[in-house]
Amino acid sequence: MRDTPDEKLDCPVCFLPLPLRLPSDVDTAQKWRCVGCGMQLEAVLVEDCSEEIRDTVRLVREVKFDECELSPPPTAVVEFASTLAESSDRRIAERRALVKTVPVVPVDADFSPIGEPFMAVSRNVSVGGIAILHVVPIAQELLAVRLTKRENETMELVVKVTRTRTVGEFYEISGRFIAKLAV
């Protein structure tokens, strides 16, 4: 019998509800920072929280995105992604904005990098998740991605892969955002 502390925590300092729970004896806790007060605590992420609650913590662990060292995605993927965007009913400016390259770092359950980082092409980004195109399927379930919102403004998030399907000769990997990294 083990205790399953499923109950979500509130920040002990500023009382913000957090998407975290205490670790059980089989979990590995990570270090998180409360956005409200900066307090750091070791806990386990509860993945199915609302956007609002998910946004109250940042993962303290740093994931390195060596964008300069990564080869850009093959031209064929970029062209394919623009073609897909063009076929949908959007204005030209919007279509172009949708085709962006995204650095991806596969991570394990403890959010440590595993596997080779790579550049993919984003197909679709929403508040809740992202779809990326890549030349090969990805074995890992969790991916850290860096999104560029505007010039010089980036956001790093962890994506839980929910579906991989073939689109043309490429792979579309879709997932939902489960946590934000501290940047």
Please report, as ranges, the residues that interact with Zn ion according to CB under 5 A: 11, 13-14, 16, 34, 36-37, 39
Nearer CB in complex with Zn ion: 13/167: 13
- Minimal distance in Å, beta carbon 58 to Zn ion? 11
Conformation bin of residue 152: beta by default, left when phi > 0, alpha when psi is -120 to 50: left
Q: Are strands 170-181 and 57-59 parallel, antiparallel or unpaired?
A: parallel
Nearer CB in complex with Zn ion: 13/155: 13
- Minimal distance in Å, beta carbon 43 to Zn ion? 12
- Minimal distance in Å, beta carbon 31 to Zn ion? 14
Bridge partners, 107 (sequence order) = 113, 142
Nearer CB in complex with Zn ion: 37/109: 37
How far CA 17 is from CA of 53, 54, 152, 162, in Å, comes to 6, 9, 30, 26
- Minimal distance in Å, beta carbon 127 to Zn ion? 23
Task: List all residues 6 or more positions away from 135 whose beta carbon is below 8 Å from its beta carbon.
Answer: 73, 74, 77, 170, 171
Nearer CB in complex with Zn ion: 19/117: 19
